[in-house]
């Protein structure tokens, strides 16, 4: 058998094996996933919630909600099922299944998080974001700080304590 004939046969066999075993590459779609996270009890926007999508490739794998509770995830997704997760130490983790159908923009709407058990011990790492106006209500675990700008004008920063390893009482 000639070298050319051997390469062609080998290529055909490998392509056939990959197709039969499901190893054909699915195309990914550049996608932007947006939404908003609020407290289920009083609809207050939750700042500092970590939101991630399990099948996101490339881009940044997670986002943190801003002072209005909004988030934006950017990356590439394969069509099919994906799981969106949101977590913060003061709330029960939230998981929502999404059907990725090839759309380039997905708005998941408003996600409502249920308050969880109060932690006994926690290590707080504050995160602050400058806000243009003082919010009328604050979500649990957030606070406002007076933060003068470089010109000495009074501005506000909305801060959130990101919890690390909360310790909750054992279930009885």
CATH number of 29-113: 2.60.40.10
Domain regions of the chain by residue span:
29-113, 121-167
What is the pTM (predicted TM-score) of this model?
0.58
For residue 18, the model assigns a pLDDT of 46
Do residues 95 and 37 touch, judged by C-beta distance below 8 A? no
Q: How far is CA 62 from the centre of its chain?
A: 4
Enumerate the H helices of the chain as residue ranges.
3-20
Q: What residues have CB less than 8 Å from 74, skipping those under 6 apart?
A: 31, 32, 33, 59, 60
Task: Show pLDDT as tens, one digit a residue, over the chain (172 residues).
Answer: 555 444 444 444 444 444 444 445 567 778 889 999 999 999 999 988 999 888 766 656 688 998 899 999 888 887 888 889 998 878 889 999 988 777 778 899 999 999 876 655 555 567 777 777 777 787 777 788 887 777 877 788 888 765 444 444 445 4
For residue 127, the model assigns a pLDDT of 73
Task: List the Cα angle 14/20/24 in 5-degree steps.
Answer: 75
């Amino acid at each position: 058998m000639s070298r050319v004939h051997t390469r062609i046969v080998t290529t055909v066999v490998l392509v056939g094996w990959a197709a039969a075993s499901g190893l054909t590459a699915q195309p990914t779609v550049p996608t932007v996933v947006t939404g908003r996270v609020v407290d289920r009890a009083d609809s207050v926007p939750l700042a500092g919630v970590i939101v991630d999508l399990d099948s996101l490739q490339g881009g940044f794998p997670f986002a943190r909600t801003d002072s209005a509770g909004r988030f934006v995830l950017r990356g590439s997704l394969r069509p099919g099922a994906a799981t969106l997760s949101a977590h913060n130490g003061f709330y029960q983790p939230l998981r929502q299944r999404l059907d990725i159908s090839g759309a380039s923009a997905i708005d998941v709407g408003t996600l409502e998080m249920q308050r969880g058990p109060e932690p006994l011990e926690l290590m707080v790492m504050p995160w602050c974001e400058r806000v243009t106006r003082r919010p009328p209500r604050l979500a649990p675990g957030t606070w406002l700080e007076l933060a003068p700008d470089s010109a000495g004008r009074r501005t506000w920063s909305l801060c959130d304590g990101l919890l690390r390893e909360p310790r909750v009482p054992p279930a009885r």
